[in-house]
């Protein structure tokens, strides 16, 4: 509820209580008093004045209410019964709680509300929240001690590891088929192929415990959710599909912008909306404004601020651990443990640019350092097979992976030029000779396994091509014939039925006398052909150049 509406509906007696606390002497009718109070609380510094009038006891109750309020996606609130229970259980009982709650409600620092299924409760007006967040930020920061680095046992220092894992995942999706259930969840059998893409699995082994993704490593689940949230992939019709336009946009982002987008998506998927929303917002600001490269005792600062007895833990500590874990996953913080203070964190310096280059070895191994731009990780993944995800990831170039580039229109000179351009070392003649030997067969003739859809009526042919669904399965179109992937038969039949031109149940077989048509060389052999235009030689090299230029200008 908007604060001005709430104040306007209070009785004159209640408005006068607020006015008196503000030091205002207002004569006149209710409307005049309401205007004066609204001016102070909504447009002025009224809440700062009210806060100064509170006793230490009332301030502590307000602090606990601020921390324990939970969001449900629409409102952040807490039931009266739950607040009383938490104060008794987590804060060792505090006397005169109800009297303080009523006083805070009289001052509108807490606003009474009805919570579905839970009865009476409180929410906090935005104007009061904004004031308290600033006050509490200074209080918590002041009570959070710094810890010497030599005392800290570092638990996680991931940098851009998760971002690189995501790039490896979307690269794999662009070159391999990844199957999914009817509920749009990746099959668990795919994990055997997907897990080696993730370095973060060495450090974060937690699994999803419930729901359709139960049993998946948490970081794998989150990578899929972030890519879906950014519309880089979609999951449907039994498979995972890359989406071209947004895939291109993601790949050329500067690393700091990519990390920011990952962070925003992770907060949506990783941090449940039922966490302590106000405290979470406060803690995020505290962490992100902390001095860089200095260890801060998070648990100790929270306990001191909430006046907990030594060794006592509450939900605020769990929220802090969860938030710090997310920020560590995207390289904003490192965290560890100190024997005296428990959980500690250190804000990392932002990653401003990626300078790493690939290195092509004489034995056809390709080394890609972690600090290479995401576009280079993606590029190498198109023509080499990942053998080890590490600080220096190892790929092996082989005939099959190189021929996949040919499927997307690459020629021998295209690949050689790109390797010369992006390699930190000179590419040897033996490597180029291997590439020539592999590609020479492709330049003679290629046999494609595809499905032809022939249209007798031009208007249905045009309508089929205009349907957005057809763009995901069409390889080529000419002379009222559409070439699609054989696996897209179900989708093709659905489109034709919707156009009022259902095809016969039988798929026609080509006879010896039937005319044939030749598909263009380089037509992608993936379900979402439009998305994979990014793999075409000139387009991919252009995107790499854009990404590297953006990096060098930082």
Query: What is the full DSSP assignment across 45-87?
Result: SHHHHHHHHS-HHHHHHHHHHHHH-EE-SS-EEEEHHHHHHHH
Residues 401, 480, single domain; the answer is no
* Nearest partner of 166 among 222, 218, 223, 213, judged by Cα: 223
Q: Is residue 521 part of a domain?
A: no
Q: What is the pLDDT of residue 443?
A: 64
Q: What is the pLDDT of residue 553?
A: 42
Residues 8, 21, single domain; the answer is yes
Residues 381, 482, single domain; the answer is no
Cα distance between residue 521 and residue 378, in whole Å: 23
Give per-residue pLDDT as tens, 9-31.
Answer: 999 999 999 999 998 888 888 99
Residues 415, 461, single domain; the answer is no
Q: Is residue 440 part of a domain?
A: yes
Residues 121, 11, single domain; the answer is yes
Q: Which domain range does residue 473 map to?
A: 450-499
Domain end point (choices 112, 131, 150): 131
Give per-residue pLDDT as tens, 118-154.
Answer: 889 999 999 999 999 999 999 999 999 999 999 999 8
Domain end point (choices 499, 524, 539): 499
Share of the chain above pLDDT 70, in %: 90
Q: What is the pLDDT of residue 62?
A: 95
Q: Is residue 392 part of a domain?
A: yes
210 vs 47, higher pLDDT: 47
Residues 7, 122, single domain; the answer is yes
Cα distance between residue 61 and residue 132, in whole Å: 13
* Nearest partner of 547 among 233, 255, 158, 177, judged by Cα: 255
Q: pLDDT grade, residue 271 (50/70/90)?
A: low
Q: Taking 50 as the threshold, does the pLDDT of residue 89 lie above it?
A: yes
160 vs 386, higher pLDDT: 386
Residues 399, 463, single domain; the answer is no
Domain count, the chain: 3
Q: Is residue 216 part of a domain?
A: no
Q: What is the pLDDT of residue 169?
A: 95
Q: Is residue 178 part of a domain?
A: no
Residues 458, 397, single domain; the answer is no
Q: What is the pLDDT of residue 534?
A: 59
Residues 28, 99, single domain; the answer is yes
Residues 367, 441, single domain; the answer is yes
Residues 9, 95, single domain; the answer is yes
76 vs 513, higher pLDDT: 76
Q: Average pLDDT, stretch 230-254?
A: 86
Q: Are the C-beta atoms of residues 365 and 425 closer than 8 Å to each other?
A: no
Q: Are the C-beta atoms of residues 302 and 320 closer than 8 Å to each other?
A: yes
Name the β-bridge partners of 240: 235
Domain end point (choices 110, 131, 152): 131
Q: Is residue 182 part of a domain?
A: no
Using DSSP, how many helices (H) and how many strands (E) does the chain show?
23, 18
Name the β-bridge partners of 395: 366, 386
Q: Is residue 70 part of a domain?
A: yes
Q: Is residue 464 part of a domain?
A: yes
Q: What is the pLDDT of residue 530?
A: 43
Q: What is the pLDDT of residue 398?
A: 86
Residues 20, 93, single domain; the answer is yes
Count of alpha carbons within 13 Å of 2, Cβ hemisphere only? 6
Q: pLDDT grade, residue 516 (50/70/90)?
A: very low
Q: What is the pLDDT of residue 512?
A: 42
């Amino acid at each position: 509820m908007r604060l001005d509406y709430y104040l306007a509906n209070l009785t004159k007696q209640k408005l006068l209580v607020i006015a008196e606390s503000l030091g205002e002497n207002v004569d006149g009718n209710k409307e005049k008093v309401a205007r004066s109070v609204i001016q102070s609380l909504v447009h002025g510094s009224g809440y700062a004045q009210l806060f100064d009038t509170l006793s230490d006891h009332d301030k502590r109750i307000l602090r606990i209410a601020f921390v324990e309020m939970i969001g449900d996606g629409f409102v952040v609130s807490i039931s009266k019964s739950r607040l009383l229970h938490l104060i008794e259980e987590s804060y060792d009982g505090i006397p005169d709680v109800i009297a303080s709650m009523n006083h805070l409600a009289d001052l509108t620092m807490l606003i009474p509300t009805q919570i579905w299924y839970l009865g009476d409760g409180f929410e906090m007006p935005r104007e009061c929240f904004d004031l308290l967040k600033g006050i509490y930020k200074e209080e918590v920061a002041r009570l959070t001690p710094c810890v010497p680095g030599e005392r800290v046992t570092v638990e996680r220092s991931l940098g851009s590891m998760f971002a690189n894992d995501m790039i490896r995942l979307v690269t794999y999706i662009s070159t391999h088929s990844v199957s999914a259930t009817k509920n749009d969840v990746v099959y668990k059998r795919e994990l055997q192929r997907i897990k080696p893409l993730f370095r973060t699995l060495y450090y974060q082994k937690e699994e999803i415990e419930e729901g359709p993704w139960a049993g998946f490593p948490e970081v794998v689940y989150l990578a899929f959710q972030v890519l879906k949230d950014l519309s880089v992939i979609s999951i449907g019709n039994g498979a995972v599909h890359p989406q071209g336009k947004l895939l291109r946009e993601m790949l050329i982002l500067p690393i700091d912008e990519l990390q920011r987008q990952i962070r925003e998506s992770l907060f949506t998927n990783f941090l449940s909306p039922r966490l302590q929303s106000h405290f979470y917002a406060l803690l995020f600001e505290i962490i992100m404004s902390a001095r860089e490269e200095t260890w801060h005792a998070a648990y100790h600062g929270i306990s001191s601020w909430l006046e907990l007895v030594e060794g006592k833990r509450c939900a605020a500590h769990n929220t802090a651990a969860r938030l710090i874990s997310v920020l560590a996953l995207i390289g904003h913080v490192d965290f560890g443990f100190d024997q005296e203070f428990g959980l500690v964190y250190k804000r990392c310096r932002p990653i401003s640019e990626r300078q790493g280059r690939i290195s092509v070895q004489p034995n056809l191994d390709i080394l890609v350092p972690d600090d290479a731009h995401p576009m280079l990780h993606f590029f190498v993944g198109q023509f080499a097979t990942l053998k080890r995800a590490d600080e220096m990831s190892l790929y092996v170039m082989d005939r099959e992976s190189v021929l996949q580039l040919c499927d997307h229109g690459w020629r021998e000179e295209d690949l050689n030029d790109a390797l010369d351009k992006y390699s930190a070392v000179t590419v040897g003649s033996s490597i180029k000779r291997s590439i020539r030997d592999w590609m020479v067969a492709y330049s003679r003739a290629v046999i494609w396994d595809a499905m032809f859809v022939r249209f007798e009526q031009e208007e249905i042919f045009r309508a089929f091509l205009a349907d957005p669904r057809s763009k995901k399965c069409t390889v080529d179109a000419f002379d009222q014939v559409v070439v699609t992937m054989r696996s897209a038969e179900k989708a093709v039949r659905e489109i034709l039925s919707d156009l009022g031109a259902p095809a016969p149940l039988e798929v026609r077989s080509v006879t010896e006398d039937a005319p044939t048509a030749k598909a263009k060389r380089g037509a992608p052999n993936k379900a979402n052909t439009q998305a994979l235009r990014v793999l075409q030689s000139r387009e991919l090299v252009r995107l790499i150049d854009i990404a590297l230029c953006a990096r060098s200008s930082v």
